[in-house]
């Protein structure tokens, strides 16, 4: 247990190269080629994390100043995904859920019920957190583990179903995403897209990156849009000209650099993936396999970054006007970009439809987070996690997580009923 925690504490930038090196050796790559693949993935993820951290560090203060400026007085504070990850990886369910999840993947592969070999182990926290909440409500390790693995199974089903569309849109073959947050929101994107298709006028709005560039020229290019959106965020935060300009350049840098880092990561992934395909097809003729990865690979797409930035002030505004909402989006405002990453292919890369879908997603997350703030606080107390220095509220939640998705919320509420 302690050894596992030490390994996980190293984070995906160290875990992923090691995992890919081992996979490469298992699939009969030479030591040198396996090392190259692992290091490319590690370098790519390091770059992605650095750029995302730069984005979060830039947008975080702007988001906080917007919250203060608009005077939102909500009692449940969004403590951020890192807090939730710490809660999940401090769970007493780890000895049951982690091996259970690995065995579940092996069984699904053996029974030909999935094409995915999921190596995104760090994001097990997404299933550990709601499982822990069920455990603290019921006192049953078995029920908590069952809740976590049910959520994981649903994420697998969605990962398999969404893989072809995601691979086509993002131009990455052999990769899929078993993500208990982003994946669970895909049906919402499908539903929103279907509804908009049937509404005259709205169904003709097409804001794809290419269409915007064609209509606006240089003003529609990703770097220009990012600059405008970054400056706009600074203005909404009440910042001066210098601060707005700095934020504009930072956001533009993210728009340009992030896809480059994704390319490096995918290059390493493809070395192992292609070799794995060769070996597995020899052993299992006629079968296709995908490697399960983190959705960080998807957020370099211009339509995702641009729409995610637009959703930040929109989410803050929604949180204030929603009747019955008690959650204040705070630490995770800049992480909203992740929740729309898997829905984009099902909204035809149309930023208008992705944005509308995003509004529905954050509405659900706010209401579910408000409703489950009590048991989330219990889980945080039991894990004895250190909260971000700017979070002082006694009522806590997390905007971008799995426990406040429709499936996560339902599992926790069932646990609550059993606990009574």
pLDDT digits 0-9 by tens, 12-29: 667 778 888 888 898 888
pLDDT one-digit tens code per residue, 330-380: 778 778 889 999 999 999 899 999 999 999 999 999 999 999 999 998 898
67 pLDDT higher than 80: no
Element (H, E) at 118: strand 116-118
Q: Check whether 220 has a pLDDT greater than 70.
A: no
The tokens describing 235, both together, are: 């203005």
Q: Find where tokens 């429709």 sit.
A: 406
pLDDT above 90: residue 157? yes
pLDDT in tens, 298-332: 888 888 888 988 888 888 889 888 998 989 887 78
Domain count, the chain: 1
Would you say the pTM of this structure is higher than 0.85? no
> What pLDDT is attached to residue 341?
93
pLDDT of res. 138: 92
User: For the residues of 222-270, what is the DSSP string, one character each?
Assistant: HHHHHHHHHHHHHHHTT--HHHHHHHHHHHHHHHHHHHHHHHHHHHHHH
Instruction: Count Cβ atoms below 10 Å from residue 48 Cβ, excluding itself.
Output: 24
Return the pLDDT at 344.
94
Whole-number pLDDT of residue 2: 56
> Residue 212: pLDDT above 80?
no
- pLDDT attached to residue 367: 96
Task: Determine the average pLDDT of the residues in 36-56.
Answer: 81
**pLDDT of 56 above 70:** no
Per-range mean pLDDT, top range of 144-153, 257-266, 269-278, 385-394: 144-153
| 166: Cβ contacts below 8 Å, ≥ 6 apart | 172, 175, 176, 177, 298, 342, 345
Mean pLDDT value across the chain? 85
Count of H helices and E strands in the chain?
Answer: 16, 6
Residue 231: partners with Cβ closer than 8 Å, 6 or more residues away: 244, 245, 247, 248
Region 244-262: what's the mean pLDDT?
A: 83
Please compute the mean of the pLDDT values over residues 272-285 and round it to a whole number: 80
Picking from 336, 383, 324, the residue whose alpha carbon sits closest to that of residue 128 is: 383
* Domain boundaries, position 64: 2-419
Report whether pLDDT(386) > 80.
no
């Amino acid at each position: 247990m302690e050894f596992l925690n030490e390994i996980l504490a190293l984070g995906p930038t160290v875990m992923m190269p090691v995992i890919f090196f081992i996979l490469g050796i298992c699939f009969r790559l030479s030591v040198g080629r396996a090392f190259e693949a692992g290091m490319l993935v590690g370098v790519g993820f390091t770059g992605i994390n650095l750029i995302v951290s730069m984005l979060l560090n830039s947008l975080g203060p702007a988001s906080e100043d917007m919250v203060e400026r608009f005077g939102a007085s909500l009692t449940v504070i969004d403590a951020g995904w890192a807090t939730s990850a710490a809660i999940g990886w401090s769970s007493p369910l780890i000895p049951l859920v982690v091996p259970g999840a690995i065995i579940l993947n092996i069984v699904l592969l053996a029974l030909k019920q999935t094409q995915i070999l999921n190596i995104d182990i760090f994001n097990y926290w997404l299933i550990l957190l709601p499982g822990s909440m069920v455990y603290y409500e019921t006192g049953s390790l078995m029920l908590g583990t069952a809740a976590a693995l049910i959520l994981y199974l649903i994420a697998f089903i969605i990962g398999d179903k969404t893989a072809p569309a995601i691979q086509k849109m993002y131009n990455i073959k052999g990769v899929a995403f078993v993500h208990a947050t982003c994946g669970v929101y895909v049906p919402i994107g499908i539903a929103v897209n279907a509804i908009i298709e049937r509404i005259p006028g709205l169904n003709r709005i097409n804001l794809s990156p290419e269409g915007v560039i064609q209509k606006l020229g240089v003003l529609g290019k990703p770097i220009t849009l990012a600059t405008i959106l970054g400056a706009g965020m600074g203005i909404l935060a009440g910042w001066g000209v210098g601060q707005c300009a700095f934020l504009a350049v930072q956001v533009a840098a993210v728009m340009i650099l992030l896809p480059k880092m994704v390319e490096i990561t995918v290059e390493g992934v493809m070395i192992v993936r292609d070799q794995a395909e060769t070996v597995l097809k020899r052993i299992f003729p006629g079968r296709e396999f995908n490697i399960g990865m983190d959705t960080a690979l998807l957020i370099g797409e211009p339509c995702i970054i641009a729409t995610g930035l637009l959703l930040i002030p929109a989410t803050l505004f929604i949180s204030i006007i929603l009747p019955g909402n008690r959650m204040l989006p705070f630490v995770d405002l800049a992480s909203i970009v992740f929740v729309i990453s898997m829905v984009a292919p099902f909204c035809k890369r149309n930023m208008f439809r992705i944005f509308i879908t995003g509004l529905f997603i954050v509405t659900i997350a706010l209401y579910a987070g408000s409703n489950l703030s009590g048991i989330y606080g219990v889980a945080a107390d039991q894990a004895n996690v250190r909260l971000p220095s700017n979070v002082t509220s006694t009522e806590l939640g997390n905007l971008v997580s799995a426990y406040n998705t429709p499936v996560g919320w339902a599992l926790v509420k069932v646990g609550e009923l059993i606990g009574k």
